[in-house]
């Protein structure tokens, strides 16, 4: 306990300082009730996200530009948390979680390449990763096919994942196999990073928060791949993410076969059934499950603090706040009323 306290005293102090900058209930109220997009931005500039907004008079009517600008706060927090940690294994866990944003930028790159466009037309879609990303981005943007990207990243898990997915990409002629390979690579790295933690309390805390997070993503993916992509249950399960806590492979098979919401609910573990029992629409699952995850995060912060779970919980909490903020921004840009905006938030 003494060693854990010494190891996490500074990182925990850093996280709690960063966490104090969250949007307050009052902030969320005024942002929701803003009469138009300009009023929304005028209030947003008074919050901690305001640093992303200066000198945007010409661009502020473009929500797409602002979305990635606002993400800078999250990327900076990742860098601050990673620097605050002493142990390399703890840093690797943070970097594994961060790699999801590298994956998103690689997807943008692949889509630009697939459609014959360069970087400039899609630059506003890229996360501002900063120095925390060590990938050779300039060289990657110079590649003219996925195979060269895979070769350039061959010493990185992304490169190995792309290499294995390229034959399927060549057969299908679409990016889906490559994009799914990138996502699966991130979560395999995350699972390995958890296993690599030497402290039992670190592993337990990391699984306590990241296990449910992966469960939520797997449920969302089953719904998306089933409803929107029409994949078979075998394909859906093949694309499931490793590292979940409550959902077994058997659960995922049964969920993928479920024909309606009622049968879908019946196939979930009982502990999750209690959380989503009132769901009546496929789009509502994510809202209920995210609320459950936020409660888990709150309980984690209320418990013993000397473990890596505090840092991971903060980063996930900040990410969910950013997602909600971007949804608010898009709703205000579309001129939606507060009532319709709330519905849009619930469908995130």
**Number of independent structural domains in the chain:** 1
How many CA atoms lie less than 13 Å away from 195 in the CB half-sphere? 8
Q: What is the DSSP string of 52-71?
A: G-TT-TTTTT-HHHHHHHHT
3-state secondary structure at position 291: helix
pLDDT of 18 > 90? The answer is yes
Higher pLDDT, 293 or 346: 293
CA distance 86 to 147: 37
pLDDT of 61 > 80? The answer is no
pLDDT of 348 > 60? The answer is no
- pLDDT tens-digit map of 279-333: 999 989 999 999 999 999 999 999 989 999 999 999 999 999 999 999 999 999 9
Count CB-CB contacts under 10 A for residue 137: 16
Report, as an integer, the average pLDDT of 63-90.
93
Domain ranges, residue 321: 2-346
What Å distances lie between residue 53 and 45, 109, 121, 238, 334, CA to CA?
A: 6, 25, 21, 42, 19
pLDDT the model gives residue 49? 93
In contact, 146 and 178? CB cutoff 8 Å: yes
CA distance 54 to 71: 15
pLDDT of 160 > 90? The answer is yes
Count CB-CB contacts under 10 A for residue 203: 18
- The share of the chain scoring above pLDDT 70, in percent, equals 95
pLDDT of 43 > 70? The answer is yes
């Amino acid at each position: 306990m003494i060693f854990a306290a010494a190891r996490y005293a500074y990182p925990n102090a850093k996280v709690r300082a960063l966490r104090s900058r969250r949007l307050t209930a009052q902030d969320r109220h005024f942002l929701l009730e803003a009469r138009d997009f300009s009023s929304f931005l005028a209030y947003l500039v008074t919050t901690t996200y305001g640093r992303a907004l200066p000198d945007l008079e010409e661009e502020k009517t473009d929500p797409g530009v602002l979305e990635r600008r606002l993400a800078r706060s999250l990327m900076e927090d990742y860098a601050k948390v990673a620097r605050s940690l002493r142990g390399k294994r703890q840093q690797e866990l943070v970097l594994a979680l961060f790699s999801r944003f590298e994956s998103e930028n690689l997807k943008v790159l692949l889509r630009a390449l697939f459609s014959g466009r360069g970087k400039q037309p899609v630059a506003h879609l890229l996360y501002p990763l900063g120095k925390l990303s060590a990938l050779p981005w300039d060289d990657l943007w110079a590649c003219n096919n996925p195979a060269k990207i895979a070769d350039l990243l061959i010493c990185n898990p992304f490169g190995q994942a792309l290499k294995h997915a390229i034959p399927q990409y060549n057969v299908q002629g679409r990016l889906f196999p490559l994009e799914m390979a990138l996502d699966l690579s991130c979560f395999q790295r995350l699972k390995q990073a958890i296993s690599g933690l030497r402290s039992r309390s670190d592993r337990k805390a990391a699984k306590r928060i990241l296990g449910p997070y992966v469960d939520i993503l797997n449920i969302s993916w089953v719904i998306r791949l089933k409803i929107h992509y029409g994949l078979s249950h075998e394909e859906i399960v093949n694309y499931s993410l490793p590292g979940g806590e409550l959902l077994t492979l058997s659960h995922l098979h049964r969920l993928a076969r479920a024909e309606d919401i009622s049968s879908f609910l019946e196939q979930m573990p009982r502990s999750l059934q209690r959380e989503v029992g009132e769901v009546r629409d496929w789009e509502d699952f994510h809202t209920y499950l995210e609320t459950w995850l936020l409660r888990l995060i709150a309980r984690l912060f209320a418990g013993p603090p000397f473990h890596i779970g505090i840092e991971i919980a903060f980063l996930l909490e900040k990410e969910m706040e950013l997602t909600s903020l971007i949804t608010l921004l898009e709703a205000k840009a579309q001129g939606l009323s507060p009532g319709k905006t709330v519905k849009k938030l619930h469908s995130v």
